[in-house]
A and B are shown apart, each in its own frame.
Chain A
């Protein structure tokens, strides 16, 4: 419950961290740690307190109570030390749109106090890493979102930070760009950078080594994706296709052993305990409810399922 503050393999150690706005508790007594070189996902619905957590960890926002150690620096006592060791990509897109790609990099490099010659060298590396070579002279405001996000990431990495904080870095970006972006993040993590990332996209969360789930300012679940699925969506999930399925869901829910039955994509997902129920009984109940079943196959539970299950029970953790 009380992790040592300076564990050498912990990039971030958070202890009882809270941030209140008046009576409202945006973040309420959150504790966890992040290991070096891992991709740590920080998930939650709108207003759950993700950005507030990140801002405190970046030394931008004073905690109401509790504390955290980031890259060996206490956020309460040494926010400047924190800032030197981290890179931060804020949720709001915050490059200078009237500046060129290169001018943005030069500015942020200068802001980190990197002298001209090393900065030139580092910019070459970043341009190569992020694939921005052909856009160097372009005005940032005229570039598509995916390229801007890569530039923002590049700017946050100029000073070789130990830890990267990315607040919804792929929001509003097309799927191909998102995939490229995540390839880049995984490569950085592979080279030893710790990545703390928030996202709304559950498919992206699958890339994270571990995930913390926030509901209304509380940390309600923390595990690797497989562990989260095992604990929060146990049993077998059957993906059923056909007609009239949604109308038949109440009948399926009556079957002993069925834990959840929800619309999913074009069909429905029914989850049940394999000890007390099986595929045949589920499909039988659906037909009984008036559905015409065209096909059914077992699927892996997704983090989306976890998220829905956890949020539905969110209040229980308070």
Chain B
């Protein structure tokens, strides 16, 4: 039993060492893996703005009156918000935002209708989840505009000349200054990891086919699990470097916090990368051509992880079909877990569904790609 096990490690070690040398000697790979994330972080962090649309809005209605229901209806009618859960107290807001059950909450104080009738100043509060993929400044502006319109309506209906103002005060949780870079960093990390993992593994396998070295490799007793593991390990290492690089850049340039556990973040990142590396191998099972492999990798990983993960566009704002598709995109769970860990200090209690989804995907693709990896020619 010792012999086969020792051989397994010798073979995997040889493959991994060889792959690591390829990486070290290829400036393009190093640029893709380490230069590109930095460039993208700077580009996106400084240059991207976001539209808001259909923000899920939880409601704490302590007045329970005709006037309070009209106000909620005004928020929903605007199209900027959709009505979410009704909560009994403000204490329930934070856990809900943490779980991602809503991205904002409207707090209507007791006595709204009475105060309105008396023409008094009425403070209405909107709580935003600043770590979600929306611009809180814009969302706040929208909330303000809705309140203004509501004031006009009340003035008309009540025939009052002196308008009792609905005053909206905003309270942003988790990302108080509303800087987009803070929630960009987790998304960007998902994107660059997906790209490097899928693209580079798909490319290296396709390159071995094109060069003919895969044929040479198959003529040795190297098993497919050994090839898969040997290819996976160096890129996993490279991926860990990327994670640290993006984290450090984020912290240094954009003051992205690290509120949760670094260890948990590492676990999530490794699970995500395993899935992506497996997907890269799967792409290379389908094609042996570097061009096609590049396109396959782009289509299957980079685009979804950019567009459907919540990195650039909030998932809540997507039309239903896209939202459904995004449920099958591992990057979505990765981004969600990362934002939770980095910005909210979430622990395993909150992110276990993401961990489960990521592990499931990783197990599935690694098994499928290993099984489908043909060790024969043609």
Which residues of chain A have a CB within 8 Å of any CB of chain B? 21, 55, 58-62, 79-80, 83-84, 86, 88, 90-96, 98-99, 103, 106-116
Contact = CB atoms under 8 A, between A and B. Distances in A.
Contacts of A60: 215, 218-219, 376-377
Interface string B295-321: 000000000000000000000000000
Contacts of A103: 18, 21
Given A60-B377, A94-B211, A98-B21, A107 B216 contact: no
Contacts of B164: none
The 7 closest A-B pairs by CB, nearest first: A110-B14, A92-B212, A113-B7, A88-B219, A94-B216, A94-B212, A111-B220
B230 to A, nearest CB: 9
B378 interface: yes
B220 A112 contact: yes
A86 B219 contact: yes
B6 A110 contact: no
B13 interface: yes
A115 B2 CA distance: 13
A94 B221 contact: no
A112 B218 CA distance: 11
A107 B14 contact: yes
A112 B215 contact: no
B15 interface: yes
Contact of B6 (A21, A83, A95, A115): A115
B213 A113 contact: no
Given A60-B376, A110-B13, 15 more contacts: A21-B378, A55-B377, A60-B215, A61-B378, A90-B212, A90-B215, A91-B212, A92-B211, A93-B212, A94-B213, A110-B17, A111-B15, A111-B220, A112-B220, A113-B10
Contacts of B216: 88, 90, 94-95
A110 B10 contact: yes
Interface of B: 6-7, 10-11, 13-15, 17-18, 21-22, 25-26, 211-213, 215-222, 376-378
Contact of B17 (A93, A106, A114, A115): A106
A55 B218 CA distance: 10
Nearest to B220: A111
B212 A111 contact: no
A98 B6 contact: no
Contacts of A86: 219
Given A90-B216, A90-B219, A99 B10 contact: no
A94 B209 CA distance: 10
Contacts of A114: 10
A83 B222 CA distance: 9
Nearest to A167: B215
Given A60-B377, A113-B7, A96 B18 contact: yes
B215 A92 contact: yes
B376 A62 contact: yes
Count chain B CB atoms within 10 A of each CB in A58, A94, A116 and give the residue with the most.
Answer: A94
A63 to B, nearest CB: 11
A61 B376 contact: yes
Contacts of B376: 60-62, 79
A112 B222 CA distance: 7
A111 B222 contact: yes
29 contacts: A55-B377, A58-B219, A60-B219, A60-B376, A61-B377, A61-B378, A80-B221, A83-B221, A92-B215, A94-B213, A94-B215, A95-B216, A99-B18, A99-B25, A106-B14, A107-B14, A107-B17, A107-B18, A108-B220, A109-B14, A110-B11, A111-B14, A111-B15, A111-B221, A112-B221, A113-B7, A113-B10, A113-B11, A113-B221
